[in-house]
Amino acid sequence: MTLIVKLRRVLKRALFLMLISLLITGFTLPPKLAEKLSRLPWIGQHLKVPQPPEKEKKEAEEALSAARLAGAPQYAPEKWQMALKIFERAQTYFREGKYRWAQATFEKAKQKALEAKEAAEKKREELRQRALEKYEQLLGEIEDLKAEDLSLRIRLRYLRGLIDQEDFETFDEEFRRLRQEIQKLKKGPKTQKGA
List all residues 6 or more positions away from 47 whose beta carbon is below 8 Å from its beta carbon: 19, 34, 37, 38
Give the torsion through C-alpha atoms of 107, 110, 111, 113, to 10 deg.
160
Distance CA 65, CA 74 (A): 14
Each domain of the chain, given as residue ranges in start order, spans 54-123, 127-194
Name which of 23, 105, 100, 92 is nearest 60 in CA terms: 105
Name which of 168, 155, 175 is nearest 128 in CA terms: 168
Tell me the range of 3-17, 53-67, 97-111, 131-145 where mean pLDDT is highest: 53-67
Distance CA 43, CA 135 (A): 72
Confidence band for 192, pLDDT divided at 50, 70 and 90: very low
pLDDT in tens, 50-109: 788 999 999 999 999 999 999 999 999 999 999 999 999 999 999 988 888 899 999 999
Look up the pTM and report it. Answer: 0.67
Name which of 70, 103, 66, 68 is nearest 87 in CA terms: 103
| Helix residue ranges, H only, the chain | 2-25, 31-39, 41-44, 54-69, 72-75, 77-96, 99-145, 150-165, 168-194
pLDDT more than 70, % of the chain: 80
C-alpha to C-alpha distances, 120 to 94, 123, 154, 162, 194, nearest whole angstrom: 29, 5, 30, 18, 51
State residue 133's pLDDT score. Answer: 92
Residue 129 pLDDT exceeds 80: yes
